[in-house]
Amino acid sequence: MSDNLVVELYTRHPDPCPECGADLILHENGKFGAYYGCIYYPRCHGSAAAHSDGRPMGHAVTHDVKVLRILAHKLFDKWYNAIRMSRNDAYAWLDTLFDVDNVHIANLGREELKILIETVQREMKRC
Ligand SMILES: [Zn+2]
């Protein structure tokens, strides 16, 4: 076991594999650090993020939600930079959009991501 892990290798993630429902277990390798991977890898590529010490980072989500998060983040950054809004103001706007404090795109689910993407796309057309 690596020195920086506080969780034992091959420990199960609390969530099931987002792709197939099997167990996700903790792995660590030099290139990507700690992560939870499906026990049916390579047949299944389901995975979930981990902190560098091995604790789960958020919930396990499907690949399409991960892709939506990347897209939403790119569009959001592009939009607020284009209208010269500060990062702080942009995140305050995001809180207003969802009526929640300290919204992080990395924690948004599929429906919220779709709302964000559609809203930003609408705003960008008005620029
Ligand atoms: Zn799986």
Give the length of the chain: 127
pLDDT at residue 72, rounded to an integer: 97
The protein residues having their C-beta less than 5 angstroms from ligand 1 (an ion) are 17, 19-20, 22, 38, 44, 46
Distance 16 CA to ligand 1 centre (A): 8
pLDDT at residue 2, rounded to an integer: 55
CA–chain centroid gap for 105, Å, is 7
Q: 29 has which bridge partners?
A: 33
pLDDT at residue 3, rounded to an integer: 63
Distance 37 CA to ligand 1 centre (A): 8
Task: Read off the pLDDT of residues 25-73 as tens digits, 9 standing for 90 and up.
Answer: 999 986 778 999 999 999 999 999 999 999 999 889 999 999 999 999 9
Distance 63 CA to ligand 1 centre (A): 11
Distance 59 CA to ligand 1 centre (A): 14
pLDDT band with cut points at 50, 70 and 90 for residue 88: very high
